[in-house]
Structure 1
Amino acid sequence: MSVTTNKVMGIGKKLVLAAGLVLFMGACNKQLDIQSSRQADEKGHWDSYEDARSGLIGLYGLLRAAVADNNAHWMWGELRNGDFQSVYRPDLKAVIEGNLNASFPTIEAVTNWRRFYAVINASNLFIERVAGCKADQRYTESYYKLDVAQARAIRAFTYFYMARIWGDVPLIINTKEGSFDELPRTSQATVLSFAEQELIAVAPNLPFLYSGIDPAQIFPNNYYGYNSSQWLNAPITRLAAYAMLAHIAAWQGRYIDVAVYTEYVVNNATKSNLSLVTTINLVTTLFNSGVNNNYNQLVGFSFNRNMGETTSEGHIEQLTLATTTLYPMSKQLPEIYVSKDSIAAAFPRSNGGTDQRFGVDPASVQQTIYTNYFENYSAAVPVFKKIRVVDGNVGNAGQFAVFNSSIVFTRLEEIKLLRAEALAVLGQTDASYQELNGIRSIRGLASISPGPSRDLLTEVFAERRRELMGEGWRWYDLVRFNRLRRTNPAFNELIDKGGIYWPIAQEVLNRNSKITQNSYWQ
């Protein structure tokens, strides 16, 4: 799935933005920030096929905005304690060092959960009102069931995403029209249980492919007028729901469930046209929002050039790209980079230079063999170019460049490594090595096997570090690894005292007296 806006329905960027704005203004988090921002009579907007379609598009658009705004996806998941360093921005340096209560506009913006509650309230409104669209004969029962399943899945995913960032968050599952009560935070366990049960309930109501072959005729044959080749990697599929379930279970340390959910995704991958991606396609096509047949973004957020979704923000390229010998840009230095020490730790010379993502000749000091992840390795500041989808003329790209890369939450390689993690924890060593070596082999690395000095779980997380660099997983992987190992006293303190979660924005606290700051940041 790629939760895109215009590509999904192909009805124009203005309609998407209008739908998102109506939903945002009409139902934005009355329970949390008290102030009503209602601007339209919602009852008059739920009686046609077009209303359902634009309402659903609005949900995807709001969710994409929530994770992309201020490059928040990488602030939350990639920078803190990770491999990237800041070149010149003190706000990014503060995030990297874990000073999350530092006074910077960027940090204040990404500690504010309001955008996520715009998604929650819009989803609640859609679920409650979209049945009215069945008054239009074109909006059949099969459309209704499928659309509601998507809305519930979007809401569940949003709650999971928030819980990883802030821990306890208010759980709101209906619009509560006319109610302006302040609501406290709900325990993370309750929130994640709700998200899991929602995904379990709706997964059977989601197809493996939209407008695909459906002998049982459960799903619309030509969903919103588009065939399966036009749907490509959008929107939420059944396998996407199971991938989300796997990650909810992993965050809670329920590895038996992780093994079950990931097994379902792996065993049914071909039904959604999922496959492992070669290294060259990983860096050139997987993250490109406009590449045909890109089903492999299992859960992601697209910015399609053909639909006018090219943007200058919400892409990691904005932070990582700068001029290189092979790729000239007007921007001379990136905002963040991976130091040579971190590169050497992630891609050791003991691999013999065979890693196709980035390989260094073990017999030479700086001779690179593969440069799919990094360029300008000989310079003081190497350029991370694994994800580089720049729109327009290369020579003019730089300070004002615009991009088309997708934000990929998960893909088949990530799920197989998550499965390897679960199997290692469960003591199923041979099966774990099989999954791990499967990923190593497609990246040019030799298989590994048990040995007296080899720790399987460490090897799995080392491979996740290499494979998923720049995709927003590093911080969450560190949390899970240290929860399992408990050998790092400083990280143990973060876990035990709630320091793994972000502080809540002061704006949120000011608007609702029942919301309390995370104890670590008080």
Structure 2
Amino acid sequence: MKMTLTATNKVMSVGKKLLLATVLMLFMGACNKQLDIKSSRQADEQGHWDSYEDARSGLMGLYGLLRAALADNNAHWMWGELRNGDFLSVYRTDLKAVIDGKLNASFPTIEAATNWRRFYAVINASNLFIERVAGCKADQRYTESYYKLDVAQARAIRAFTYFYIARIWGDVPLITATKEGSFEELPRTNQNAVLSFAEQELVQVAPNLPFLYSGVDPAQIYPNNYYGYNSSQWLNAPVTRLAAYATLAHIAAWQGRYIDAAVYTEYIVNNASKSNLTLVSTTNLVTTLFNSGVNNNYNQLLGFSFNRNVGETTSEGHIEQLTLANTTLYPMSKPLPEIYVPKDSIASAFPRSNGGTDQRFGVDPASVQQTIYTNYFENYSAAVPVFKKIRVVDGNVGNAGQFAVFNSSIVFTRLEEIKLLRAEALAVLGQTDAAYQELNAVRGVRGLASVSPAPSRDLLTEIFAERRRELMGEGWRWYDLVRFNKLKRTNPAFNMLIDKGGIYWPIAQEVLNRNSKITQNAYWQ
């Protein structure tokens, strides 16, 4: 039965001083360590929300804060990619602890990853923006259409942030207004209530977000030449209507509400062309999709860029910092990567039974050492292969070394990921033919033959195997393992993690020390 949004009735001073510190973060801002410091200047921010420039810098500051929260200490990959994943640590014991699930190990990087404070900086700044930005309408340039669009983005950013941290810590404090006071003094809110709030917010604001910023708008609902930039300059950002629906789809899937996940993903697939979204060829996937500085990144459905063109290259906050090393093809002074995918995991993810046709990584079935496609890995014959799927090094790669800088984006989701999520939802709902159709659409663009129902084939296993291949290195592996094992319930050790709350991270001791109303996740007590 065809599902529609109607059928389910469902369909984002930070103040002047702080804003001036973040105004340079246009197009997602710079990863500034000052963003991790809790502001103590709110008392004098009341009078600094009265101009077009205040609104613009305030909104861009929200994106900068969120990107900094994801990038700090490469935590996006620590949370989503390393635990029980395909990557192993070459020499870093802190990363090995994360990979092994020892999340209460005493390492500064793990302690930082257990601290949610930087995400509450995003939430607090979003609340402040929503409450104060109406004052900017005193400036005639800041029209009602700007105001409605900007508030919709701020609410979407806040909702996305709550979804993101609920996946990491489970129950988290829900703060929806600055008048509620300091977040350290509030107890944790049930995860389902937090996700329900995020979903309600996104359902309300999604229709107020455009498919493209500064795009063609015959109805003249949205500002033309938004904040003085054309559509090509707003690539990857800000949050679009389809990005809001992508977040809604993932909230629903995380909660096991696959009817809603199917509805939301259907809307994205049916309207993809309105946001210039397409399935990306393998070559463009590895060379341009993650590149913040190119002009064809509409396909970053929801991404956080480090644009070289506006001086946002950094040495941290990129998976390249962990995965790149010296190879014959790309000489570097760094002899070994910090993490790598071992050969047995590569062989498991990209089996020779595929006949070497997988354009991401293919091995000749007649010779295990002879690679046909090397878009994901190089130095396969060495003891430590190098993961090169995401390689956006600023400047001359041959001169890059221990202190290389990068400008790859943190891509949260793209059309391929959404189609595989849709295949997952349809498979759970028993719509097998439609699920195979979505799965095969992604397989086809990677050079793989279509698969169809067979007595020995488990559709969900096929879908999650494809997600493993397609999304490797993008921060999905742990969350996919959680959803897969919630559905299958065939892994006793993982069942225990799910049932006892071990799928969530412990809460930083700093947070516990500062707020007696916050209790540690039971599994980590």
TM-score, normalised relative to structure 1 = 0.94
Residue 195 of structure 1: aligned partner: 198
- Residue 450 (1) aligns with residue 450 (2): no
Paired residues of 1:19 and 1:57 also in contact (CA < 8 A)? no
1:19-62 deviation line (CA, Å, top 9, x unaligned) = 9899876xx4xxxxxxx723661112100000000000100000
Match of 1:482 in 2: 485
Tell me the secondary structure at the aligned position of residue 141 of structure 2: coil
Counterpart pick for 2:397 among 382, 394, 399: 394
Q: Name the residue aligned to 2:317.
A: 314
1:438 aligns with 2:441: yes
1:196 counterpart letter in structure 2: E
1:110 is the counterpart of 2:126: no
1:454-495 CA-to-partner distances (Å, cap 9, x unmatched) read: 000000000000000000000000000000000000000000
Q: Give the structure 1 partner of residue 428 of structure 2.
A: 425
Q: Paired residue for 1:75, among 75, 78, 86?
A: 78
Q: Which amino acid aligns with 2:261?
A: V
Determine which of 265, 271, 274 is the counterpart of 2:268: 265
Cα-Cα RMSD:
1.9
Q: Of 90, 95, 113, which aligns to 1:87? A: 90
Q: 1:176 to 1:283 in 2, by over 3 A?
A: same
Q: Please show how residues 242-253 of structure 1 align to structure 2 within 5 Å.
A: 242-253=245-256
**Aligned-partner Cα distance in 2 for 1:180–1:85:** 36
Aligned to 1:7: none
1:176 equivalent in alignment to 2:179: yes
CA gap 1:402/1:473 in 2 versus in 1, 3 angstroms:
same
Q: Tell me, yes or no, if the aligned pair for 1:16 and 1:54 is still in contact at 8 Å.
A: no
| Residue number in structure 1 paired with 2:19 | none
Pair 178,352 (structure 1): closer, same or farther in 2 beyond 3 Å: closer
Spell out, residue by residue over 1:340-360, the C-alpha distance to the aligned partner (whole angstroms, 9 max, x if none): 000000000000000000000
For the 8 Å contact 1:112–1:507, the answer to whether it is kept is yes
**Range moving further from structure 2, 162-171 or 11-20:** 11-20
SS of the residue aligned with 1:148? helix
CA contact (8 A) 2:24 2:30 kept: no
Question: Is it true that 1:368 corresponds to 2:367 in the alignment?
Answer: no
CA distance 1:496–1:369, change in 2 (3 Å): same
Q: Partners in 2 of 1:452 and 1:291 — Cα distance?
A: 45
1:106-158 alpha-carbon deviations (Å, 9 max, x no partner): 00001000000000000000000000000000000000000000000000000
2:486 equivalent to 1:496: no
**1:449 aligned partner, one-letter code:** S
Q: Give the 3 Å change call, closer, same or farther, for CA 115–178 of structure 1 in structure 2.
A: closer
Residue identity matched to 2:378: E
Once residues 238 and 365 of structure 1 are traced to their aligned partners in structure 2, the CA distance between those partners, rounded to angstroms, is 45
Matched, 1:135 2:142: no
Instruction: Quote the Cα distance in structure 2 between the aligned partners of 1:280 and 1:274.
Output: 16
| Contact 2:120/2:183 (8 A) holds in 1 | no
CA contact (8 A) 1:23 1:58 kept: no
CA–CA distance in structure 2, aligned partners of residues 463 and 58 of structure 1? 36
Q: 1:19–1:58: 8 Å Cα contact kept in structure 2? A: no
| Counterpart pick for 2:278 among 257, 275, 281 | 275
- 1:464 corresponds to 2:481: no
Which contiguous aligned blocks of 4+ residues in structure 1 show a shift greater than 3 angstroms? Answer: 10-25, 177-181
Looking at structure 2, the residues matched to 141 and 477 of structure 1 have their Cα atoms a distance apart, in angstroms, of 41
Q: 455-464 or 390-399: which moved more?
A: 390-399
SS of 2:298's partner is: coil
Task: State yes or no: 1:521 paired with 2:524.
Answer: yes
User: Quick one: distance in 2 between partners of 1:109 and 1:133?
Assistant: 36
* Aligned counterpart, 2:258: 255
May I ask how many residue pairs the two structures share in their alignment? Answer: 505
CA distance in 2, matches of 1:325, 1:164: 40
2:353 to 350, 358, 367: 350
d(CA) in 1 for partners of 2:471, 2:28 = 31
- Alpha-carbon distance change, 230 to 181 in structure 1, aligned in 2, over 3 angstroms: closer
Q: Residue 33 of structure 1 corresponds to which residue in structure 2?
A: none
TM-score norm. by structure 2 comes to 0.93
Match of 1:219? 222
State the match for 2:162 in structure 1: 159
Instruction: Tell me by how many angstroms 1:365 deviates.
Output: 2.5
- The alpha carbon displacement at 1:11 in A equals 6.8
3-state SS of 2:63 partner: helix
Q: 1:429 and 1:58, CA in 2 relative to 1: closer, same or farther beyond 3 A? A: same
Q: Is the 8 A contact 1:20 1:58 kept in 2?
A: no
**Partner amino acid for 1:320?**
T
Distance 1:326 1:432, change over 3 A: same
Structure 1 CA distance for aligned equivalents of residues 74 and 26 of structure 2: 23
SS at match of 2:412: strand
1:48 to 46, 51, 66: 51
Q: Equivalent residue for 1:327?
A: 330
Contact 2:293–2:407 under 8 Å retained in 1: yes
Q: Give the Å deviation of 1:232.
A: 2.1
Deviation digits for residues 443-463 of structure 1 (CA, Å, limit 9, x no counterpart)? 000001110100000000000
Does structure 1 retain, via aligned residues, the 8 Å contact 2:83–2:101? Answer: yes
Q: Which runs of 5+ in 1 are unaligned?
A: 4-9, 29-35
Partner Cα separation in structure 2 for residue 514 and residue 258 of structure 1 = 34
Whether contact under 8 Å (1:15, 1:54) holds in the other structure is: no
Match 2:188 to one of 185, 190, 213 = 185
CA distance in 2, matches of 1:39, 1:378: 57
1:215/1:457 CA distance change after superposition, 3 Å: same
Please say if residues 23 and 122 of structure 1, whose CA atoms lie closer than 8 Å, have aligned partners that are also in contact. Answer: no
Kindly indicate whether the alpha-carbon contact (under 8 Å) linking 1:233 and 1:293 is maintained by their aligned counterparts in 2. Answer: no
Paired with 1:15 and 1:274, the residues of 2 have a C-alpha distance of: 19
Alpha-carbon shift at residue 233 of structure 1 (Å): 2.4
Which structure exhibits the higher relative contact order, with contacts defined as CA atoms closer than 8 Å and separated by 6 or more residues?
A: 1
Distance 1:39 1:197, change over 3 A: closer
Q: Give the aligned partner of residue 235 of structure 2.
A: 232
Alpha-carbon shift at residue 221 of structure 1 (Å): 1.2
Equivalent position of 2:514 in the other structure? 511
Residue number in structure 2 paired with 1:64: 67
In the alignment, the residues of structure 2 paired with residue 171 and residue 20 of structure 1 have an alpha-carbon distance, to the nearest angstrom, of 26
Q: For the structure 1 residues 21 and 15, does the alpha-carbon distance in structure 2 shift closer, same or farther, using more than 3 Å as the test?
A: farther
Q: Aligned-pair distance for 1:293?
A: 2.3
Which string of whole-angstrom CA distances, capped at 9 and with x for unpartnered residues, describes residues 205-245 of structure 1?
00001111111111101111112122222110000000000
> More displaced, 492-501 or 228-237?
228-237
Alpha-carbon deviation of 1:182?
1.5
CA distance in 1, matches of 2:184, 2:439: 50
Distance in 2, matches of 1:452 and 1:19, equals 51
Provide the C-alpha distance between the structure 1 equivalents of 2:193 and 2:504, rounded to a whole number of angstroms.
17
